[in-house]
Amino acid sequence: MAAEADMMEASGPAIDPMHQFTLKPLFGEGPIHWYTPTNATLWMGITVLAIIALLVFGTRRRAIVPSHTQSVAELAYGFVYQMVRDVAGKEGVKYFPYIMTLFIFIIFTNFLGLIPMSFSVTSQIAVTAVLAVLVFVSVTLLGFYLHGVKFLGLFWVSQAPLALRPVLAIIEIISYFVRPVSHSIRLAGNVMAGHAVIEVFASFAASALIAPIAMVGIVAMFGMDVLVAFIQAYVFTILTCVYLKDALHPSH
């Protein structure tokens, strides 16, 4: 990472693929207080508006035979609902609105971040960490609330030989606490890497000699980023469902 940063500095400010991830106040200059509206705030607001456009205005006619927008909204609903029911089981359906909130937020910010000159909210480790910690804490609390001390059975592999169980318990506990870390860095890392690579290609495009290759590279990377935008939202959501399932049915 340090070597990469040095390389960026060496090539000067013209190629600074990380610059796009900088938070800036929307109005004027100055320090960023907790309440300052920034470009992140702007794009979160746009996310909310886009969600309203699809899920509220798109479905306002409540048509039996849906319009295109309404079908997309229904598709998103059915996709997440199916996922929650298949992975977390019937009891998990109760938490469907929360998981839908996560999925819709992530997929909208991912796709809005693909708009050129936009700001990608999910590339911020602070955002994904909050999401992951939110999932981690609520799932853990839910597990203890539903099962009490029995929730710790999640770490006690009862099928394994007795001698192995303490070792497995340690491994299980470590893997449990690593969950929010991998959960958050996977999303932010994928989104950030895709955007950074596109910008690197874009900065190469300044030179006429390699511009065609750079253009092809941008198009290819953009295509991949579209996939990543969906897949990472899907992965984040399905992992949330898996964690929820662990909380609902802790026994191995």
Partner 1 sequence: MTTATTEAAGHAAESAAGMPQLDISTFPNQIFWLAVTLVLIHLILSRIALPRIEAVLAERQGTITGDLAAAEELKQKAVEAEEAYNKALADARAEANRIVAETRADIQAELDEAIARADAEIAARSAESERAIAEIRASAQEAVKEVAVDTAKEIVAAFGVKADARAIAAAVTQRMKG
Give the footprint of partner 1 on this chain (CB under 8 A).
1-2, 5, 8-9, 18-19, 21-23, 31-38, 40-41, 44-45, 47-48, 51-52, 55-56, 59, 62-64, 66, 70, 73-74, 77-78, 96-98, 100-101, 104-105, 121, 123-127, 130-131, 134, 178, 181-182, 185, 188, 192
Q: What amino acid occupies position 86? A: D
Q: Looking at beta carbons only, is 91 or 160 nearer to partner 1?
A: 91
Question: Least distance (Å) from partner 1 to the CB of residue 118?
Answer: 15
Q: Which is nearer to partner 1, 87 or 135 (CB)?
A: 135
What is the torsional sign of CA 178, 179, 181, 185?
positive
Residues 113, 229: contact at Cβ < 8 Å? yes
The residue among 162, 167, 176, 159 whose CA lies nearest residue 246 is: 176
Nearer to partner 1, 23 or 206 (CB): 23
d(C-alpha 89, C-alpha 54), whole Å: 27
Nearest alpha carbon to residue 68 among 80, 79, 53? 53
Residue 5: CB minimum distance to partner 1, A? 4
Task: Using the structure block, give the residue that is written with the tokens 């469907």.
Answer: 96
Q: How far is the CB of 181 from partner 1 (least distance, A)?
A: 5
For residue 17, report the phi and psi dihedrals to the nearest 5 degrees. Answer: -65, -15
* Distance of closest approach, residue 18 Cβ to partner 1, in angstroms: 6
Question: CB 251 → partner 1: shortest distance, Å?
Answer: 28
